[in-house]
């Protein structure tokens, strides 16, 4: 029951976000005097509607988004001769209207981050990024085995953990491997991975403030680079330890309503950077989705659909992590906002790009004393538009299928 509640709550939050996106377009269009004839939440058959002024508002039967009808978004539309058609307005006004949906996502994301920081807590920002985590002292957790495939955890055929066999324990801070000092966890990994295979090495560590030394025999494994989880695997040495943190760093941090603003801004910037990085990696992640559908291990950092995000919401709800659900909603809002501004039709960014192309072309023609070439013919761009729709549609179908048959699970 709790799982279903979390799943529905996250899906509903995303549905509301999309409806607010469309409300952003409608509100700014009305503000500038453009004619807005329809605003609906959902698609398909109309369940309920009413008309106020010149605009019909309502709810449709398929809650997979929403839409707003602004008269004359392109000069080729049937109602483009209306004196209040959108295409007749200055390019800066059309830019504001078309970008307003994404701006709504950006505002929602910020205030969700702020709300979580002010009312719940956030992870310690000192270890938010992989670089910051790797720069922490080499405090370790000790595994029972050395997994040959880390994504699958310990298997019956995996060798016993060398660190465990040597007597290392969770919370030990390794300070030296052989003759190499290890002031950080990154230095520790580098020192271990370059060890000669199957040769014992002395490892010095701190436990309860007392320095001790044990002899450990590494095992050869295949691993990706520590600073590039998606990189090519190579053969390296391993002893069966992972990273732990100082107790103070593991505790979530509470902020008041004023302190929460800069913290929210910091998380906001980090999430934007992560969104751009994720979008850049989407093409290289697609083959793994086909593999996941056929039964391969699902990439935990791979793309997910709204279905997958909702399932993660259900898992978080089961363990009472409601603050994390809101953080997921905020992150998705930022991603949607950025994605919609890509300069591709039929996305909002495509309409903005065309508007500014027209403006630039008019300026260039005027500089050379030539007549204004007029508006871009959207009909000539339809093949490109259909291609974009097909690619995005196929990608959506692929991610939804993967999320149904082989979903990403944060708790296994």
Q: What is the CATH number of the domain that holds 228?
A: 2.30.42.10
d(CA 233, CA 162): 21
411 and 338 in one domain?
yes
Residue 210 lies in a domain: yes
Q: Record the pTM.
A: 0.77
298 and 269 in one domain?
yes
Report the candidate in 337, 335, 355 with the shortest Cα–Cα distance to residue 345.
Answer: 355
311 and 172 in one domain?
no
pLDDT tens per residue across all 412 residues of the chain: 788 888 888 889 999 999 999 999 999 999 999 999 999 998 899 999 999 999 999 999 988 888 999 998 888 777 778 899 998 999 999 999 999 999 999 999 999 999 988 888 666 665 666 777 777 888 898 888 888 777 677 777 888 888 888 899 998 999 999 889 999 988 998 899 888 877 889 999 999 889 999 999 888 888 888 777 777 888 888 888 888 876 656 667 778 889 889 888 988 988 898 888 888 888 888 888 888 888 777 877 788 888 888 888 888 888 777 888 898 899 999 999 999 999 999 999 999 999 999 999 999 999 998 988 888 888 888 898 899 999 988 998 999 898 888 887 776 5
pLDDT at 250: 63
Residue 20 lies in a domain: no
pLDDT at 39: 95
pLDDT at 127: 63
Q: How many independent structural domains does the chain possess?
A: 2
d(CA 195, CA 168): 18
Residue 140's domain comprises 130-250
Residue 236 lies in a domain: yes
Three-state DSSP state, 25: helix
278 and 219 in one domain?
no
- Under 8 Å between Cβ of 241 and 142: yes
Burial letters for 13-43: b for 16+ Cβ neighbours within 10 Å, e otherwise? Answer: bbbebbbbbbbbbbbbbbeeebbbebbbbbe
402 and 266 in one domain?
yes
d(CA 100, CA 366): 30
Residue of 22, 77, 144, 151 marked catalytic = 22
- What interhelical angle do 260-293 and 322-340 show, nearest 10? 80
134 and 119 in one domain?
no
d(CA 323, CA 312): 13
Q: Is 22 designated active site?
A: yes
pLDDT at 251: 67
277 and 195 in one domain?
no
357 and 303 in one domain?
yes
């Amino acid at each position: 029951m709790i799982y279903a509640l979390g799943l529905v709550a996250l899906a509903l939050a995303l549905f509301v976000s999309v409806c607010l996106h469309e409300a952003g377009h409608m509100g700014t269009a009305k503000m500038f005097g453009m004619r807005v004839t329809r605003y609906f939440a959902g698609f398909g058959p109309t369940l309920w509607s009413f008309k106020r002024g010149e605009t019909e508002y309502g709810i449709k039967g398929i809650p997979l988004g929403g839409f707003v009808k602004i008269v004359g978004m392109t000069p080729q539309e049937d109602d483009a001769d209306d004196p209040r058609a959108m295409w007749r307005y200055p390019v800066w006004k059309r830019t504001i209207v078309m970008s307003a949906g994404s701006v709504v996502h950006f505002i929602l994301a910020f205030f969700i981050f702020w709300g979580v920081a002010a009312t719940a807590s956030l992870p310690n920002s000192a270890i938010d990024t992989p670089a910051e985590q790797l720069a922490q002292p080499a405090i370790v957790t000790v595994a029972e085995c050395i997994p040959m495939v880390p994504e699958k955890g310990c298997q019956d055929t995996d060798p016993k953990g060398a660190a465990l066999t040597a007597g290392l324990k969770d919370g030990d801070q390794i300070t030296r491997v052989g003759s190499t000092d290890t002031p950080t966890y990154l230095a520790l990994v580098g020192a271990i991975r370059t060890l000669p295979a199957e040769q014992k090495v002395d490892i010095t560590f701190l436990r309860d403030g007392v320095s001790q030394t044990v002899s450990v025999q590494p095992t050869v494994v295949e691993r990706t680079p520590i600073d590039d989880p998606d990189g090519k695997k190579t053969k390296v040495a391993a002893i069966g330890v992972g990273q732990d943190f100082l107790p103070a760093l593991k505790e979530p941090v509470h902020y008041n309503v004023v302190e929460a603003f800069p913290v929210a801004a910091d998380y906001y910037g980090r999430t934007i950077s992560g969104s751009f990085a994720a979008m850049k990696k989407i093409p290289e992640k697609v083959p793994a989705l086909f593999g996941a559908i056929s039964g391969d291990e699902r990439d935990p950092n791979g793309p997910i659909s709204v279905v997958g995000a909702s399932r993660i919401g259900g898992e978080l709800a089961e363990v009472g992590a409601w603050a994390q659900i809101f953080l997921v909603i905020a992150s998705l809002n930022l991603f949607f906002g950025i994605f919609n501004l890509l300069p591709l039709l039929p996305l909002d960014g495509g309409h903005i790009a065309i508007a500014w192309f027209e403006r630039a072309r008019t300026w260039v023609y005027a500089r050379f004393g030539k007549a204004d070439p007029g508006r871009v013919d959207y009909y000539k761009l339809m093949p490109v538009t259909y291609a974009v729709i097909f690619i995005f549609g196929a990608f959506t179908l692929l991610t939804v299928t993967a999320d149904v048959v082989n979903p990403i699970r944060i708790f296994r």
